[in-house]
Amino acid sequence: MNTVEILAVIIIVGVVLVWRISWLATRVHRATTRAERTWSVLDAALFGRAQRAAELVMMRSIDPATALLVLDAAVATLDPDLCQGERELTESDLSHVLDAVDPMLPARPSELDMERARASMYRRLHNDAVSTALALRRRHTVRIFRLARRSVEPRPFEMAEGTFCTLTACPPDSPEGSTSPLTTVMVREAEN
Amino acid sequence: MTDLRRRLRVGMVCPYSFDVPGGVQNHVLGLARYLRQVGHRPYVLAPGELRSSTPALDLEDFSSVGAAVPVPYNGSVARVNFGPLSAARVRRWLRNGKFDLIHIHEPVTPSISLLALWAAEQPVVATFHTATPRSRSMQLAGGVLRAAIEKIDAGIAVSESARNVVVQHLGRDAVVIPNGIRFDDFARRRPAMRADPFDELRTTLDEARRSTDSGHSAGSPPEPPQRPRLIFIGRLDEPRKGLDVLLAAIPLIRQARPDVEVIVAGQGRRALPSWCCNLGPITEEAKIALLNSADVFVAPQLARESFGIVLLEAMACGVQLVASDLPSFVDLLGAPQDKERRGDVFGVGDHRALARAVLEALERPDPLQAARAQQAAKAYDWSSVGMAVLAVYRAALSTAPSTLAADGEV
């Protein structure tokens, strides 16, 4: 091989490498962006859940002890200064409290169930997005070329979700009390 | 960010042709119909032809990628599309459709679903229908497939077993949303119906038989209702649908109940014993009439049923159910020890157990059990299933990083 051929080979290999790396950078960026957005959506859904839980207090004929328990747990999750670990704990506590008071409630709070199901769905999507992003960010090429350096590493959100009806099980138009098919579709989350 | 309340243009990709009946196709049409009812605009890309406008879809909203090629895949013969021509058509459809969201069914089949996933720049929702592990092809396809799977913004699995495959073999996760049915269409059976309306049924069945080619209708026509009637619906020539198990069990059943009548319906040619009435492929209407006329519906599938939509339809009709104990069937019917179970299950492939279960159901029909099954099937009506799918659409629309410039790999 003469010099020109060697040069050509080097250039081709270089171009392919650069293309591969920029492609990988796009994928890392896309996965990380998605994980950031799923977090903000999950955050909003958890806020919605706490709000609905706090609204239980306004139910007619709820006793003051139950009301205080729920309100306390709901308000605890809303503190803006919580770090993620503390937030996970307070959200789990809220799930436990909601499960504990559920049999005492005068009526089935279907809107709260909806919010819990929604938060559960968003949490699954978020943790899925996070694991996709992490799998990419831990690749050797990504580390060596520091393709993820400009973004914060996403973290999965772990919490106990408790027991509630899934999205498919309680459509808003279904009459209350028609709960017999729920045996198959109740979600019972193992406690972490 | 996209406004979530406005009318959505949803591009749905179905890898299987609507010329042949199938669970995925029915799911796509059912979802399209629901989306239209609640004011969104579904478009469908699939192989083959859509013969006429349906309540689910106008002809103009359907695009074809051309005829599909039969290839053995996933234990049966799949008719799929691949190659540069199909890829170009998929890209053109994606570009011209101005979709807010792409909903891809069976995203890892080597067909237009994978091509669409590869080329999509919009937010992508993907539904996984099968519970078939494909780890080997995953390993072989390696990075290319993984990069495509990464593009899914929100995954849906039709059952926990389908979700397990997604988690274990694709390294992603999915929200479980079951298949939908149009409950009211199926739940026509009233106590009075058992008395008379068999004229109507027989007309429907006769029409169904005439519309299929006359060659493979063997056996006697459906008889009056005094004879106990067993129903099987599914591909006749595909071993995993388990017709052989049922046929092996029939002689045992006939020893105790010689008058039992067996009706099978489904695609595929095969020779059947003379006492077995074969309706061939039947229309949706005929299927509903047939299910409503059954005494016992048998689902003897051997493997790889991730959901069991026909079983669910039979549940909605409120007939006695006997099914093999595949995980997805047990999910629907309940375990054998469960007092509140909605049907009886037997060991996969065990024709003696099948015969016992069928005889038990014929001797001691349990209307309460059938009523529980019907009640349980109600939760799978499109009104609630579709709402859950829309919730996933909203999630994907608000979380997709689709504002990025066109990706390098496209």
pLDDT of B182-218, one tens digit each? Answer: 898 888 654 434 444 455 566 666 666 555 544 444 4
Q: Is residue B5 over pLDDT 70?
A: no
Q: Which residue of B has its CA nearest to A35?
A: B399
| Residue of A167, A170, A179, A185 to mutate for B, most B C-beta atoms under 10 A | A167
Q: Cα–Cα distance between A168 and B382 in angstroms, integer?
A: 9
Put simply, the answer to whether B401 touches A33 (Cβ < 8 Å) is yes
B127, B150, B329, B385: which to substitute to probe chain A, counting the most A Cβ within 10 Å? B150
**Nearest alpha-carbon partner for A160 in A100, A81, A80, A79:** A100
Q: How far apart are CA B121 and CA A81, in angstroms?
A: 37
Given pLDDT bands bounded at 50, 70 and 90, which one contains residue A12? very high
| Inter-chain residue contact A34 with B383, CB threshold 8 Å | no
Tell me whether domains B9-180+382-399 and B183-378 share a fold.
yes
DSSP string, A76-110: HHT-TT--HHHHHHHHHHHHHHHHHHGGG-SS--H
Average pLDDT, chain A: 82
CA pseudo-torsion sign A179, A180, A183, A184: negative
- The partner residue sitting opposite B399, judged by closest CB among A38, A135, A184, is A38
Task: Give A61→chain B minimum CA distance, Å.
Answer: 30
Complex ipTM value: 0.80
Instruction: Flag if A129 and B399 touch (Cβ within 8 Å).
Output: yes
pLDDT of residue B402: 59
Whether residue A124 and residue B400 make contact (CB cut-off 8 A), yes or no, is no
Looking at every residue in chain B, the average pLDDT score rounds to 82
**pLDDT tens digits, residue range B36-75?**
999 999 999 999 888 777 777 888 889 988 888 887 766 6
Q: Which residues of B touch A174 (CB under 8 A)?
A: 384
Output b/e per residue, B332-342; b: 16+ Cβ within 10 A.
Answer: bbbeeeeeebb
Distance of alpha carbon B40 from alpha carbon B33, whole angstroms: 10
Distance from CA of A180 to the nearest CA of B (A): 7
Q: Which residues contact B121 (CB under 8 A, 6 or more apart)?
A: B94, B402, B406, B407, B410
pLDDT at residue B140, as a whole number: 61
A33-55 per-position pLDDT tens digit: 999 999 999 999 999 999 999 98
Residue of chain A with shortest Cα separation from B379: A169
Cβ-based contacts of B178 with chain A (< 8 Å): 168
Integer-rounded Cα radius of gyration of chain A: 24
Residue A8: its H or E element:
helix A3-55
Architecture label for domain B9-180+382-399: 3-Layer(aba) Sandwich (3.40)
Q: What is the pLDDT of residue B51?
A: 79
A135 → closest Cβ in B171, B332, B384: B171
Distance from CA of B264 to the nearest CA of A (A): 29
Lowest mean pLDDT among A168-177, B103-112, B133-142, B266-275: A168-177
Cβ atoms < 10 Å from Cβ of B370: 21
B229-279 pLDDT, tens digit per residue, is 899 998 888 888 888 899 899 889 988 888 888 999 888 888 888 888 888
Both tokens of B346, joined, read 């037997």
Q: Which helix (H) or strand (E) holds B233?
A: strand B229-233
Distance CA(B58)–CA(B103), nearest Å, equals 18
Mean pLDDT of B17-45: 89
In this structure, what is the dihedral angle of CA atoms B136, B139, B145, B151, given to the nearest 10 degrees? 100
Query: What architecture does CATH give domain B183-378?
Result: 3-Layer(aba) Sandwich (3.40)
- Break chain B into its structural domains and give their ranges: 9-180+382-399, 183-378
Q: Which of B399, B403, B404, B409 to mutate to test the interface with A (most CBs of A within 10 A)?
A: B399
Helices (H), B187-326: 198-211, 243-256, 284-293, 309-317
Hunting for tokens 């509630």 — which residue is that?
Answer: A164
User: Is the pLDDT at B86 greater than 80, yes or no?
Assistant: yes
The DSSP bridge pattern shows strands B154-157 and B261-265 to be unpaired
Which secondary structure element, helix H or strand E, spans residue B230, and what is its range? strand B229-233
- Alpha-carbon distance A103 to nearest alpha carbon in chain B (angstroms): 22
Could you count the other beta carbons within 10 Å of the beta carbon of residue B285?
A: 12
- Helices B309-317 and B367-378 meet at what angle, rounded to 10? 120
Name B64's bridge partners. Answer: B46
A171 — pLDDT class (breaks 50, 70, 90): very low
